[in-house]
C-alpha cells in the first residue's frame, strides 16, 4: 500500500537548516495499522504531512496504492488527497456551523461524488454516532467529536487513513476507546492506517510500530 524510499525534507537554509526527514524508508501493507512513535521534533507530523501531500518533500519516493504521488503536480496531488486519503487530527477540525451528518459528508460532497448511504449508516452505527447525526459539534463530548472525525475520514473509502495524535485531546479512557474503534474499522473495512502518537499504550494496539528519531525511521 505504501512504499517510502529515501525521503528527505529540510526547513531553512545554511547554518539554520534543519533536516526534519533524513532518508526515511519503510513500507506498509494493505490493511495494516502502523503506529509511529517518537519524541516531539523527531519528524513524525512532517512525515504524515508529506505522505498526505500537504507538504512537499525535497527528494525521495512515495508510492501509495502503486501511484507515485511525488511526481504529481499540485492539482493532481489535491485530487489524490481528496479521493484517496482520510485525515484524523488531534483537534478534530469539525465545522461548527454544520451538523454531525454534514461534517461527515464533506469529503464526498467536495468531490461531487454520490453518497453510499448504506455504507454511511453502517459506518456511523459501528462508531456509535448514528443517534448524533443532527447535533452540532458543540453539543458533543471530545470522544464523540473524534468519532465524527473518524467517520469523516472514512466516508470516501480512502486507500489510506493518516491520523496525527488523534487522541491527544482525550483522557486515557476515551483514548483507548478511540483506538479500539480505529482498529474495528481497520478490520471491518480493510482499512490501512498510519498513526502518529506519543502514547505507548496506543501504539501497542497497532499491528506494527515504527520509531522516529532525528528524522530517521527505525524499522
pLDDT digits (tens, 9 = 90+) for 72-130: 999 999 999 988 999 998 888 999 999 999 999 999 998 888 899 999 999 999 899 99
Cα–Cα distance, 84 to 23 (Å, whole number): 25
- Residue 27 in grid coordinates: 513500507
Domain residues for the domain of 188 are 2-218
pTM for the structure as a whole: 0.90
Sign of CA dihedral 133, 144, 163, 202: negative
- Residue 108 in grid coordinates: 464526498
Ordered alpha helix ranges (H), the chain? 44-51, 74-84, 100-110, 117-126, 142-154, 172-189, 200-203
pLDDT > 90? residue 201:
no
Cα–Cα distance, 172 to 113 (Å, whole number): 37
pLDDT for 152-184, tens place per residue? 999 999 989 999 988 888 888 888 888 888 888
pLDDT for 29-87, tens place per residue? 999 999 999 888 888 999 999 999 999 999 999 999 999 999 999 999 999 998 899 99
The number of folded domains in the chain is 1
CATH of the domain at 20: 3.40.50.300
Amino acid at each position: 500500500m505504501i512504499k517510502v524510499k529515501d525521503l528527505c525534507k529540510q526547513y531553512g537554509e545554511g547554518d539554520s537548516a534543519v533536516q526534519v526527514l533524513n532518508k526515511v524508508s519503510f513500507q506498509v501493507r494493505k490493511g495494516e495499522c502502523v503506529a509511529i512513535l517518537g519524541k516531539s521534533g523527531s519528524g513524525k507530523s512532517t512525515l504524515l504531512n508529506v505522505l498526505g501531500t500537504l507538504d512537499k518533500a525535497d527528494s525521495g519516493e512515495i508510492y501509495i496504492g502503486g501511484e507515485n504521488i511525488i511526481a504529481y503536480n499540485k492539482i493532481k496531488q489535491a485530487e489524490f488527497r481528496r479521493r484517496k486519503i482520510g485525515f484524523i487530527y488531534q483537534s478534530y477540525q469539525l465545522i461548527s456551523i454544520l451538523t454531525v451528518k454534514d461534517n461527515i459528508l464533506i469529503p464526498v460532497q467536495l468531490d461531487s461524488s454520490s453518497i453510499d448511504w448504506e455504507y454511511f449508516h453502517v459506518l456511523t452505527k459501528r462508531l456509535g454516532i448514528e443517534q448524533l447525526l443532527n447535533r452540532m459539534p458543540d453539543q458533543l463530548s471530545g470522544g464523540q467529536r473524534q468519532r465524527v472525525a473518524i467517520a469523516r475520514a472514512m466516508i470516501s473509502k480512502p486507500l489510506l487513513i493518516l491520523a496525527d495524535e488523534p487522541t491527544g485531546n482525550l483522557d486515557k479512557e476515551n483514548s483507548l476507546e478511540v483506538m479500539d474503534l480505529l482498529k474495528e474499522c481497520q478490520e471491518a473495512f480493510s482499512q490501512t492506517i498510519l498513526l502518529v502518537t506519543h502514547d505507548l499504550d496506543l501504539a501497542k494496539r497497532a499491528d506494527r510500530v515504527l520509531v522516529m528519531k532525528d528524522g530517521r525511521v527505525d524499522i
